[in-house]
Structure 1
Amino acid sequence: MSKALIDINNKTILVTGSPGFIGANLVLRLLKEMSSGTVISFDSMNDYYDPQLKEYRLSLIEEAARTSAAKHVFIRGNLADKALVDKVFADYKPAVVVNLAAQAGVRYSIEHPDVYIESNLIGFFNILEACRYNPVEHLVYASSSSVYGGNKKVPFSVDDKVDNPVSLYAATKKSNELLAHSYSKLYNIPSTGLRFFTVYGPAGRPDMFYFSATQKLSRGEKIQIFNYGNCMRDFTYVEDIVEGVFRVMQGAPQKAVGEDGLPLPPYAVYNIGGGTPENLLDYISILQEELVRAGVLPEDYDFEGHRELVGMQPGDVPVTYADSEALERDYGFTPKINVRSGLRAFAEWYKEYYCD
């Protein structure tokens, strides 16, 4: 698909979900790269997980902003607040919108569906409506590998059918893609959805397995390994995710007119995944080795005594595996950071943040 190139300098970039995990790292990258312009962080700073971690990421952003050529503005608010979203667009006129704000987590959606409807559907609708009435050059938004559900064909391709979600979270992400497509068609809004595959790294989300397992092991508790360890995951290091988002932001789907004289939807969806699924037991072994190396756990730690193999959880799937060929073709990028390097960086950060 042909792309309209976007120079992000001297423009306003809105990143929702910053200072969330991916959002904070993206804003830090923008503040480093931009020679002018404004980056707006928008987040509710809710307590889905420890808000102090979000405050920590925000402090890193504010520190980076002091030496950046670009300006940074933080707005605390809820995407479901349509009046506030409209005001942000009216006041700042963002040229590029990166919507990363969402209620995340497959298992949490089983017990708290209302939160997902508010954030992932109503909040995203408010973003789309704001883009409809403002001159936005490119809307980039987070989807998820969860949309592939229980698909047996691997690797997962963006050309695969994704009509059978196994969790409400996955259903909301698929809904985002459908809504974005319709707004792209009706209002000629260039939009790109990104299906992220199991993102991990320093200062990540504590509800993700590698993080929660580290916390349990450091307290001497057992970790549960689901599906008796018979899981494969396409883990993607956060720097690779940010590199992909950064490139995609600067290449919007080209606007075009069809034979009927109406706009063809300037719409695209891409996978961002490592492309090398890891066996869950191997991943855990590498994590444990890196936690020992970093000094989070002692060298004589009894790992076998702190493992419990259990069955599959509701809403989970046994395999995720990204086909990122389209991302390579259109943006010249494929994730490259291997699991050991990524987990080493996480373990060293964890030691400094929690243990020192």
Structure 2
Amino acid sequence: MRRVLITGTAGFIGFHLAKLLLAEGFSVCGYDGMTDYYDVRIKQRRHAMLLQSADFKAVEGMLEDQLLFDRVADSFRPDVIVHLAAQAGVRYSLENPRAYIDSNIIGTFNVMEAARRLEVGHLLMASTSSVYGANDEMPFVETEKADTQLTIYAATKKANESMAHSYAHLWNLPTTMFRFFTVYGPWGRPDMALYKFVDATLEGRPIDIYNHGDMYRDFTYVEDLVRGIRLLVDAVPVRPASKDEIEPGDSLSPVAPFRIVNIGNSDKVRLLDFIEAIEDCLGKKAIRNYMEMQPGDVPATWANAELLQRLTDYRPQTDFRDGIAKFVTWFREYYGK
């Protein structure tokens, strides 16, 4: 039985990934800090569901606690590490930037050190479409330069990519970084737009719509996303003997077993269309509060997911209207609304 250590299993994406891997017969060890960035009760509920499997064990601890994380990793001896835990949220990074340094830089360093020491077969780590920053050539491609991050959150994720590349080069540690695009679905975070829009509309409260709704996002359904991660687990990068071995469009490093992969729906959806789909699903109009663009936000994201498809023969394709309907069903059941 293959052993996978996942950081952030009480989180939105980590929970769905752990559930998928357990269903496929993996042994999973989850590590999560249970921080109060949002309601801890939903995190506890996610872990409680995973703990119904005998092949899942959970440890509560901060990534910054290197001694504890090392103890957990040494005991579990994972074949693969998937590092998803992070301080998330673009807008929160304007209020509390230090939290991003502690979790996303120091915590990620501790994960990489454990992976190096244990010589894991594959280290996979979450990055974000936010690293594309001020880039305006779309759809975003992994081989583009990404040097114009607009928030400390995005900057820490770009730093993670650079840190990981150096470790892959120095220690021959196979590493895949995946860049997420706007992820949504059941068990989502309360700070995310879909969650806030549904909750506010049902309660008759106004929703804040930034840039007067002139925004586009590549909405990626969470189950599609974790399927992509699962398939990338087996797409282990190998250090090429020369640059000539790297196929056009592949982000494989010429000097390390390291690759960056977009996981997105390969489609940009207008925010106002997303809101209209929510209204249709709820049978209720939202009270719209149009606002200016927030600092650090970008008007559009759109993934080129051709590399993911080439590596895994898979591409996310859930229509955003179907994904919203599944989220609303979960939300009504979970909160009894």
TM-score after normalising by structure 2? 0.94
1:1-356 correspondence runs (5 A) = 10-34=1-25, 38-63=27-52, 65-66=53-54, 71-256=55-240, 264-292=255-283, 301-303=284-286, 306-355=287-336
Alpha-carbon deviation of 1:181?
A: 0.2
Identity within the alignment, %? 44
State the Cα distance separating 1:205 from its structure 2 match: 0.7
* Native 8 Å contact 2:87 2:100 kept in 1: yes
CA contact (8 A) 1:12 1:39 kept: yes
TM-score using structure 1 length: 0.89
Q: Secondary structure at the match of 1:154?
A: coil
**Equivalent residues of 2:51, 2:57 under 8 A apart:** no
Q: Please, which runs of 5 or more residues in structure 1 have no aligned partner?
A: 1-9, 293-300
Q: CA deviation at 1:215?
A: 1.6
Residues 277-314 of structure 1: CA deviation (Å, up to 9, x unaligned): 1000000000111123xxxxxxxx443xx101111000
Aligned length: 327
Deviation at 1:213, TM superposition (A): 1.4
Deviations 1:173-227 (A, max 9, x none): 1001000000000010000000000000011011111101112222211111100
Q: 2: CA distance between counterparts of 1:244 and 1:342?
A: 16
Query: 1:257: Cα distance to partner?
Result: 5.0
SS at match of 2:108: helix
Residue 276 of structure 1: how far off its partner (Å) = 1.0
Distance 2:256 2:95 in 1: 36
Q: CA deviation at 1:95?
A: 0.9
* Separation in 2, partners of 1:171, 1:127: 18
1:148-169 CA deviation, whole Å, 9 max, x = no partner? 1121111000011110100000
Greater CA deviation, 53-62 or 316-325? 53-62
Q: What letter matches 2:169 in structure 1?
A: K
1-structure distance, mates of 2:240, 2:271? 44
Distance 1:108 1:238 in 2: 22
Cα deviation 1:233-275 (Å, max 9, x = unaligned):
000000110110000011210245569xxx9310000000111
In 2, the alpha carbon distance for the partners of 1:317 and 1:62 equals 38
Q: What are the Cα deviations for residues 22-46 of structure 1, in whole angstroms up to 9, with x where unaligned?
A: 1000110011001xx5210100111
1:93 touches 1:135 (CA, 8 Å); kept in 2? Answer: no
- Name structure 2 gaps, 5 residues minimum: 244-253
CA distance, structure 2, for counterparts of residue 291 and residue 156 of structure 1? 33
Amino acid across the alignment from 2:306? E
**Inter-CA distance 40–32: structure 2 relative to 1 (3 Å threshold):** same
For residue 30 of structure 2, give the secondary structure of its aligned residue in structure 1: strand
Q: Distance in 1 between matches of 2:262 and 2:156?
A: 17
1:213 is paired with a residue whose SS is: helix
Q: Distance in 1 between matches of 2:150 and 2:220?
A: 22
- Asked if the contact 1:231–1:280 (Cα under 8 Å) also holds between the matched residues in 2, the reply is yes
